[in-house]
Copies of this chain bind each other. A is one copy, B any other.
């Protein structure tokens, strides 16, 4: 019994813990290909080119836009981010599931082109908890944090465009729920090629 590849999109407000959840999930789920974004942003400490992102110059990014090489792309603050189109589509055609971790703006663009994907919204337990997380990870300026919190309440209204909601109370619980969503989607009749 073969089945089609499924696109799983993990998304949610900035600082909600998408990256941490993605890493923990990949360690626990079999047969999942990670989609890697292209970005013009500078690598943060510890980030590796070709693993965390494909880091490119603004000129390279613009060339890729012109060649229609992105499933979506967006400017977030002063940086550009994009999802390579061919990579995702080729993997799905081979019957491989693809995991895409992306911000809300990007997820909604991808959904226009890939409505058959599975869209999972990661919610913070509360705005206050999100503020604590953004401060304590120490990767962002105070100005950047303020911007993100203001955006977050608006972003949470987009949950209606998603298929699933997972609250990130604890990473273990969130990962367990997303893993269940992946297993369930793999059992869905419409995702199976039944003879």
Contact = CB atoms under 8 A, between A and B. Distances in A.
| Copies of the chain in the assembly | 2
B166 A177 contact: no
A192 interface: yes
A187 to B, nearest CB: 5
Interface in A163-183: 163-166, 176-177, 179-181, 183
A159 interface: yes
A181 B187 CA distance: 8
Interface string A63-76: 00000000000000
A194 interface: yes
Interface residues of A, number: 22
A42 interface: no
Contact of A183 (B160, B177, B187): B177
A160 B160 CA distance: 28
A165 B183 contact: no
Contact of A159 (B120, B159, B165, B194): B194
Contact of A163 (B120, B177, B183, B188): B188
A162 interface: yes
Nearest to A185: B184
Contacts of A162: 189
A164 B188 contact: yes
Given A121-B189, A180-B180, 8 more contacts: A162-B189, A164-B188, A165-B192, A180-B181, A180-B187, A181-B184, A183-B184, A184-B184
